């Protein structure tokens, strides 16, 4: 895939290896030796944000004409179905996808994206093991196997208060 100028990995941080850059592995597998490759991560918002980054880089950089976004998620394997706090995530499943953007291609034009983040939700859904807070937790507990919702009632209350207003905001902004 020598025509590729930029490759953005848009999948889960849980990949084949810890602390690993999946995009450069995929770049090698595709033979895209001239492309720049990097990973992005924003959980459920990664692909939309990466679409915006791809569009912006094609506009800003003369030498970026073809961009590949690709990745996948397999965090459903971290579900503990006995954990009532995380029941809203029971439908998580593995999946993947890819899309190619070409500068000045009129067939599938990306009109606009809007991304909105809210840091008040940043510690609501966590995987307790393996981070800098609980480096050794992986070895001494069952937490390494599950995603957890730290305070589901409080999270639901905040989601109820903000979600519809925020959904409508990003839709309206993207139509401007």
Q: Is residue 111 part of a domain?
A: no
pLDDT at 147 over 90: no
Q: Is residue 73 part of a domain?
A: yes
Same structural domain, 11 and 98: yes
Domains in the chain, number: 2
Same structural domain, 71 and 147: no
Count of C-beta atoms within a 10 Å radius of residue 52:
15
* Per-residue pLDDT, 78: 83
Same structural domain, 16 and 97: yes
Domain containing residue 155: 119-174
Contacts with 105 (C-beta within 8 Å, 6 or more apart), sequence order? none
Q: Indicate the pTM of the whole model.
A: 0.86
Mean pLDDT in the chain? 88
Distance CA 5, CA 7 (A): 7
Q: In the predicted model, what is the mean pLDDT of residues 18-44?
A: 92
DSSP β-ladder status, 6-9 and 66-73: parallel
Q: Is residue 59 part of a domain?
A: yes
Distance CA 129, CA 142 (A): 9
The DSSP code sequence of 36-60 is: EEEE---GGGHHHHHHHHHHHHHHH
């Amino acid at each position: 895939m020598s025509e590729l100028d930029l490759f953005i990995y848009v999948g889960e941080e849980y990949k084949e290896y810890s602390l690993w850059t999946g995009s450069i592995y995929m770049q090698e597998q595709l033979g895209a030796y001239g492309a720049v490759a990097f990973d992005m991560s924003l959980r459920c918002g990664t692909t939309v944000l990466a679409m915006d980054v791809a569009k912006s880089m094609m506009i800003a950089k003369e030498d970026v004409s073809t961009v590949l976004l690709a990745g996948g998620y397999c965090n459903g394997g971290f579900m503990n179905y006995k954990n009532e706090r995380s029941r809203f995530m029971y439908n998580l499943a593995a999946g993947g996808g890819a899309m190619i953007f070409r500068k000045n291609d009129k067939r599938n034009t990306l009109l606009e994206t809007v991304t909105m983040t809210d840091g008040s939700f940043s510690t609501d859904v966590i995987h307790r093991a393996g981070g800098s807070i609980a480096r050794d937790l992986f070895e001494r507990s069952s937490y390494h196997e599950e995603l957890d919702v730290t305070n589901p009632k409080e999270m639901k209350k905040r989601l109820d208060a903000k979600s519809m207003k925020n959904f409508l905001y990003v839709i309206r902004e993207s139509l401007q």
